[in-house]
Amino acid sequence: MSVSQRIPRDQRRRFRTGRPCLDFTHTGGDGPYAVWELLHTPEDVALYVGGLLDVELSVVDADVAALKPLRAALTNAARGAARGIPPSDADVAVINTVAATPPLVPRLADGRVVLTPGTLPQALSTLARDAIDLFSSPLRDRVRVCAAEDCGLLFVDASRPGLRRWCSMERCGDRAKKRKARAG
Ligand SMILES: [Zn+2]
């Protein structure tokens, strides 16, 4: 079983934004995001951060706290991008600092990228580099917050017209349509 398949079924919808750096922000956080926290132990970090990158990670106790500054910076940058606001200098500095360390090593296998098992600092660098790629590309204007009131998940709208409103058509889109049908 691959690492991503170990993520419990009821948590998998958090990891479908289309970008690992955004999936990472869905693992929890400070303030309003604390109720969503998934990362309490090194085992949690190996499961969820390893899962969203689909790689085996060796995680030590100190990693649980060490991941938080990058996660907060990515959350700020992503939620800001969804409102058309560029990232703050402080958040950019955190992202750049983490990206400057060695990332997980990619390998080409059967026409796909497969990450070589590594450490959490390497995984954080990989996530920070994904964020640098995203926030320097036209897709930064396609970062959205799901329009469903009780959802709030991020996604990247890669559709050609750029009018996607929901994190998933199966879940939030379908429920919105049913509500509209009942109201109509
Ligand atoms: Zn949604």
Residue 107 CA to ligand 1 center (angstroms) comes to 33
Residue 24 CA to ligand 1 center (angstroms) comes to 16
Condensed to tens digits (0 to 9), the pLDDT of residues 28-74 reads 999 999 999 999 999 999 999 999 999 999 999 999 999 999 999 99
Q: Does the structure show a pLDDT above 90 at 182?
A: no
Condensed to tens digits (0 to 9), the pLDDT of residues 69-98 reads 999 999 999 999 999 999 999 999 999 999
Condensed to tens digits (0 to 9), the pLDDT of residues 104-161 reads 999 999 999 999 999 999 999 999 999 999 999 999 999 999 999 889 999 999 999 9
What is the distance between the terminal CA atoms of the chain, rounded to a whole angstrom? 45
User: What SS3 state is found at 58?
Assistant: strand
Separation between Cα atoms, residue 102 and residue 7, nearest integer Å: 26
Residue 113 CA to ligand 1 center (angstroms) comes to 28
Residue 97 CA to ligand 1 center (angstroms) comes to 32
pLDDT of residue 119: 98
Residue 163 CA to ligand 1 center (angstroms) comes to 14
